Structure 1
């Protein structure tokens, strides 16, 4: 370990002492990479000589180390003890942080698989795991207010059920705002749980799809931040609402310096993990009746005309000159090349403009 790395690790470690579950200090301020950034390359069905597939987390970790990233966030399902030790050894050798991604139980009384994944994650040196309550987008997954309300109650019950397991293994869980909870709803859940073991994996861009103001969303959720998905977003109007797309950092509408500062204010040891998903734009049909089905009970909290008007105004003020990028019509190798290029652009911007 050289002098620069030692000083960086020592400073980060001092900041992290008050945050339970951090198995090792984050390496200075280097940005890491979320596995979803490589969704084209991760276990790809067709191999490419220029962009060989990642068959497991060790492949991803090695590649991200070679790029100069600070660590990775990756799924731990299916790991053996031996593989977990291999990952830990590499992270220790290269001075990288490691965060896990883990699925919640489907029912509060079915936590065996969840705990098994926690054990493997801990063997690998993970102190923070990320999860989602709903794998799908709220406005696509839930077709009635009752279905949404049932989901909310079940999600809280499941989080309450895993909390003592997290405490037993001294692991922190970050629940991602995954185009399901609006910011104020998620904050209420965190207050209800009131647990130092459960916080938020704060995704910088997802809640644009739910008409949350991006900076207000971070202000609301930063007090609970455990880990992050840093990204930038671009928008474009269409007949039923707007399209939303991840773009390389600095090319979108988000105030990244302010968001980073807010997260650090509440958790000085927080890591910033890039989630740059190279894909076609998502459609946000906020001018359709179906979109609003599950928001009927939250009008008093700000959902409605005001947020819709503000979001559409934002969309119209930031119309991309050449439209949003699309990739799915390209050849597999061209998609891989675009993905690789976007991630490298983000890492460069993070180093040069964001201090990451």
Structure 2
């Protein structure tokens, strides 16, 4: 088990900053923060990177003692094959994905068939796929896919915050998926009143200050005992300026790493 950061730990700093961070920058800042895993998650440019760019990223991460993971969306055969190739080039042993894309929403049976066809190639290279819990797919259906494929190289990437929008309680999501979890996305969240007191917003907050029952989650999942990496993410609302937003993002990231370290993760 290791503490890791994700591209979602640097979301504002690579999507909106005046000088956006590169993947190499994010790897270096991961090492500086004391984390040892970096998950390149929902970062489409990685798919267009040249062989040289991928090799330079791999070498830099290796030199800093940072292991790389990948994250994408979709379970179509060619797409999973592309990410298996990327995993090989980057020395990656874990790929997170989601069932749906904008153009493809497979049924449970279709997802089982697609993943069952892809898993032998992943297993042969020692790469595990984690299907993330999120609001577009009921947890029952996600678990039906994992159980239907029934392969040790397929499991759940648990992010209990995502399922709130489906009116699934985080605690229930944690308890039901715990035996199948292979990767953890750790972010805290809270409801705040919308301006004018009409409605609520579900937004991020510093780890340990919101609704995520972190202690209960790790008690169920047992990431240390089972060797499950914990990857820090944020739902940070934009602040009054992009400079301030990036500064707060950095504060939250460093706080999260220290929180997990103190928790004995």
TM-score, normalized by the shorter chain, greater than 0.5: yes
Residue in 2 aligned with 1:37?
A: 9
**Aligned counterparts of 2:92 and 2:28: Cα–Cα separation in 1:** 17
- Kept in 2, the 8 Å contact 1:249–1:350? The answer is no
Instruction: Give the direction of change, closer, same or farther, for the CA distance of 1:241–1:210 in structure 2 (3 Å limit).
Output: farther
Equivalence map 1:181-330=2 (5 Å) = 181-236=137-192, 242-264=200-222, 268-279=226-237, 327=238, 330=240
Query: Do the aligned partners of 2:157 and 2:181 also contact (CA within 8 Å) in 1?
Result: yes
Q: Measure how far apart 1:181 and its partner are.
A: 2.3
- Give CA deviations for 1:118-167 in whole Å, capped at 9, x if unaligned: 1222221101111112357xxxx9xxxxx98x654543443233223323
What is residue 23 of structure 1 aligned with on the other side?
Answer: none
Shift of 1:198: 1.2
Per the normalisation by structure 2, the TM-score is: 0.85
Q: Distance in 1 between matches of 2:216 and 2:17?
A: 39
Equivalent residue, structure 2, for 1:178 = 134
Q: Does the aligned pair in 1 maintain the 2:14–2:21 contact within 8 Å?
A: yes
Aligned positions, number: 259
| One of 91, 109, 116 as aligned partner of 1:160 | 116
C-alpha distance in structure 2 between counterparts of 1:64 and 1:135, whole Å? 29
The 1:243/1:43 distance shift into structure 2, 3 A limit, reads closer
Unaligned runs of 5+ in 1: 1-25, 48-52, 142-146, 280-326
Q: Which residue of 2 aligns with 1:69?
A: 35
- Cα deviation 1:18-56 (Å, max 9, x = unaligned): xxxxxxxx5xx4x21111121111144632xxxxx212x
Q: TM-score, normalised by structure 1?
A: 0.65
In the TM superposition, residue 61 of structure 1 has moved relative to its aligned partner by 0.4
CA contact (8 A) 1:81 1:120 kept: no
Q: In structure 2, what is the equivalent of residue 88 of structure 1? A: 58
Segments of structure 2 that go 5 or more residues without pairing to the other structure are none
